[in-house]
Amino acid sequence: MEKKFNFELNNEEKRSLLERFVRYCKINTRSSDTSDTFPSTKEQWDLLHLLKKELEELGLEEITLDEKGYLFATLPSTKGYENAPVIGFLAHVDTYPGTSAENVSPKIIENYNGKPIKIDGSDLVIDYEDSPSLPKMIGHTIVTTNGKTLLGADDKAGIASIMEMLCFFKNHPEIPYGKIKVAFTPDEETGRGADFFDVKKFGAEAAYTVDGSLLGEIETETFCGDSVTVEVIGYDIHPGLAKNKMKNAVRAAADFITRLPEENLPETTEKRESYLHPIAMSGEVGKVIVKFIVRAFTVGELKEREEDIKKVAEETKKDWPGITFNITIEEGYRNMKEVLDQYPKVVNLAKEAVRLSSVEPFEGYIRGGTDGCRLSFMGLPTPNIFNGALSYHGVKEHISLEWLAKSCETLRHLVKLWAEEKSIK
């Protein structure tokens, strides 16, 4: 009979998990989407160096932190399980560029009463509209911000979950497990987190990002994403000589923007609906550049939104004689479901690990992309596992310690499940 192990976190382990999470959150690792360095901010190195030190103290092997900010480490298998599939776990160190991460001051609420949360020292309230899951967290320990910064649970909750999982297996060598690879990466929030990721060096056969949200969710789909650049070309001349000569690209571009289909914007779409999104406009009378991101769950619908941009450009051009439009489309990423459907075991074992944690699993989708999406197409199938955090990227970000603990418990079960497998297919 197979020996049973208790993977549920005890009170001491939960305290350690909470202290670890808060410790990481206090480090400002805000990334920058305007920087030309990689990592995009020097502050990300602060957490990377701390994690490297903690991995060394834990006794992991093959620890490397390269010049691009990728931190890799290995937990060798237990004796007799050297041939089990090599599984990886990943989380990103950076936080969202758009919200302050300076002097993060986590607030801990014990034995939560289920009512809207008034954030001390601010006028902010986290209510049921912000977080419909609040009634499910009665009695939990909740961690919030102080209302001035984000919390950083995206993705320091994932880092804490992975680190506590590693501690567990280092402290319990009697539990069989295969070789475990971990990676902590920079600049996920800027969309560049996998730009320099060396899949071969990492050495895993399949992996999981711990960057999801809701309890029990395994995310297996992402948007397909492209970037579109529209150049609006006019003709500039001294305004005193402009009559019947000037072709004002600024005015034409403004008209172009107002003609975009209202039903296909981020502000008017949800769930599986696609969108086109003008994110930046710059230039002058002679030339204006409008940048878009385009998102859809299928390539076909992605191309439809791109055709919308072309159509609007043609319609605008007719009403602005002398103005021309140049459109460039740059392929970004594709729905990782295309890859994960070839590896059903990678997803099914994650679901089973959730069930073993006494939680009902469900498959979700992301209205965006993840490092795992790009890694999947780079040869490393990588679905996304929940970490329990909510209201990412804003000053109302919060997390349930109990949900975070269930994330860590899920990782423990997942490692044990993979130890009994012979391949990832």
* Closest by CA position to 89, among listed 189, 169, 176: 169
Helix axes 401-419 and 344-356, enclosed angle (nearest 10): 130
Q: Which two tokens stand for residue 401?
A: 């310690």
Told to judge if 110 belongs to the known catalytic residues of this protein, a careful annotator would answer no
Provide the residue type at 37 as one letter: T
Identified catalytic residue from 130, 164, 187, 188: 188
Q: What is the CB neighbour count within 10 angstroms for residue 114?
A: 13
* Closest by CA position to 313, among listed 333, 332, 328, 299: 328
Told to judge if 188 belongs to the known catalytic residues of this protein, a careful annotator would answer yes
Chain-centre distance of CA 318, in angstroms? 41
Identified catalytic residue from 43, 94, 187, 221: 94
Q: What is the CB neighbour count within 10 angstroms for residue 330?
A: 8
Helix axes 401-419 and 153-171, enclosed angle (nearest 10): 50
Report how far apart the first and last C-alpha atoms of the chain are (Å, whole number): 26
* Catalytic residue IDs: 94, 188
